[in-house]
A and B are shown apart, each in its own frame.
Chain A
């Protein structure tokens, strides 16, 4: 199997990773290699087998809808790269 450079660029966009031309070339070699190896999964017929998401097939535990956490905004924002008046700052989105 092969993966085109366009596909590599599309995946990198979905993954929010900047990929240089040189890296894209490397991925075009690495990824098909790994994916071809992964495809040995196809040698077993899994039709009708329920996919297993949790090792003990446990489902999500629910709790009462009550407030358990207090507001700790300033604490959490103390590790943010850039904040102002309690808001996270990012480059301008709308001109």
Chain B
């Protein structure tokens, strides 16, 4: 069952080959068998079976859509009234949200069954899923390696076949990088495509939710159900949502694929480069026109991104004050002590580091040199993409400079860790969509390629990814021992 696509699962449910309850129990059993990966913070077995029963009723009565009865995992960043929402932090270890995130609500309406909430870097701050209060997540391809982050638990849930689909969020690569490290497909939509309502905020001008699946087609179904205008998120865009799964069969003939010099320069693992060259050769064979392009401000994207993300996080995380919800220190001496100790005792090291730098960057006398400067560079980066998309349909390159690194390898060196996001970060600054799909395996670890499109061109990205997956089988590879 775990190897079936979403479309096959829906057909199986519709033709009564299995029920949603059976499907749900199957995946719950796999979750239990693979607990050593630490992919889940909360398993929601009982609620899941209840939801599955409702889904079975809907299917029997004919009131069902393509995702009715399909199990999925939510990143533990989405507020849910059922169970707790921790965001990977001690701060929210006891937090039960008083409302559901729009994404949660939409997927419940679609009839999805929630298996559990997945582990992640605390408050989505990290590129390895090592910064979690609940311990590091392990990569199913090699349990000594990180799964990427921050949505590491969601990526592992899909890669180890513990869930057919999972939600994630991407602020600087947090969907695409774990998708690449775990050998699955993950898409970061256009900023404003998916509602951020009820999604715990990290850096609000960059955060965006998106789907994980084994294939582009599976992601198309999930993206379809997640997307759309929401009055409760003032940055959500009122743009029509195409029927993504129906947009994937178009030919790629004549499409122009831009290859940015900057994504193939020093720092790129030579083996990763070989797989990229093969993918480019495939595109050319399909009738795409390959063009070399420049994105000259790429190296400035990481510092600009970290300034913006840290400044916005220092502001967003000021809400955790030990007064209204979340952790409160014991026996505070006074209000000052209550604020200071509650925050210091409950935030992890990386979160505190980012709050400190963000606070510094926004403090009197430094605003222009850091935040304003970073926002100006953000415009330069966005203009690089605008210019590129005048001539090309797609931009293609590696998702990460190298495959998954080892747990503990970069944890003591923040700047090296930040540099692992070099190819994913610019996309968030420009607010454009991008998808990571598996395109090779090197020394037992998956390699991902990233395809970038212009605003609201998710359908084009999924089209390309689907065509590639029709011709190759990298996306069908399962980590050894998880078949």
Contacts and interface: CB of A to CB of B under 8 A. Distances in A.
Interface of A: 3, 8, 11-12, 14-19, 27, 30-31, 33-35, 37-44, 46, 49-56, 58, 60-61, 63, 72, 75-76, 78-82, 88, 90-93
Contacts of B109: none
Interface residues of B, number: 69
B235 A49 contact: no
A35 B377 CA distance: 16
B171 to A, nearest CB: 12
A49 to B, nearest CB: 4
Given A12-B356, A91-B334, A51 B340 contact: no
Contacts of B273: none
Given A18-B344, A90-B323, A31 B379 contact: no
A54 B377 CA distance: 13
B324 A55 contact: no
B325 A79 contact: yes
B435 to A, nearest CB: 17
Contact of B359 (A11, A39, A50): A11
A93 B332 CA distance: 12
Given A79-B96, A91-B337, A15 B359 contact: yes
Nearest to A76: B98
18 contacts: A11-B360, A14-B363, A15-B314, A16-B318, A18-B340, A30-B353, A31-B360, A37-B303, A40-B300, A42-B373, A44-B377, A44-B380, A50-B376, A52-B376, A54-B205, A55-B206, A78-B96, A91-B334
Given A41-B300, A55-B191, A90-B323, A31 B328 contact: no
The 3 closest A-B pairs by CB, nearest first: A55-B431, A51-B375, A81-B328
A46 B205 contact: no
B415 interface: yes
Contact of B321 (A8, A11, A16, A39): A16
A11 to B, nearest CB: 5
Contacts of A34: 306, 353, 357, 414-415
B132 interface: no
A interface majority secondary structure: loop
Given A41-B300, A53-B205, A58 B344 contact: no
A80 B97 CA distance: 11
Contact of B356 (A11, A42, A79): A11
Contacts of B475: none
A50 B356 contact: no
A37 B324 CA distance: 37
B299 A30 contact: no
Nearest to B208: A55
A56 B321 contact: no
B388 interface: no
B382 A90 contact: no
Contacts of B206: 55
Given A14-B359, A15-B356, A41 B234 contact: no
B98 A27 contact: no
A38 B303 contact: yes
B338 A52 contact: no
Contacts of A12: 356
Contact of B332 (A11, A43, A91): A91
B74 interface: no
Contact of A58 (B192, B334, B335, B356): B192
A41 B374 contact: yes
Contacts of A19: 344
A14 B382 CA distance: 32
B333 interface: yes
Contacts of B431: 54-56
B257 to A, nearest CB: 23
Contacts of A61: 234
B406 interface: no
Contacts of B376: 46, 49-52
Nearest to A68: B231
B343 A18 contact: yes
Interface in B59-87: none
Contact of A88 (B307, B324, B326, B414): B324
B104 to A, nearest CB: 17
Nearest to A54: B205
A34 B339 CA distance: 26
Given A17-B355, A41-B373, A54-B205, A60 B234 contact: yes
B434 interface: no
Given A58-B235, A93-B335, A41 B357 contact: no
Contacts of B196: none
A76 B339 CA distance: 20
B344 A17 contact: yes
A44 B205 CA distance: 23
A88 B343 CA distance: 18
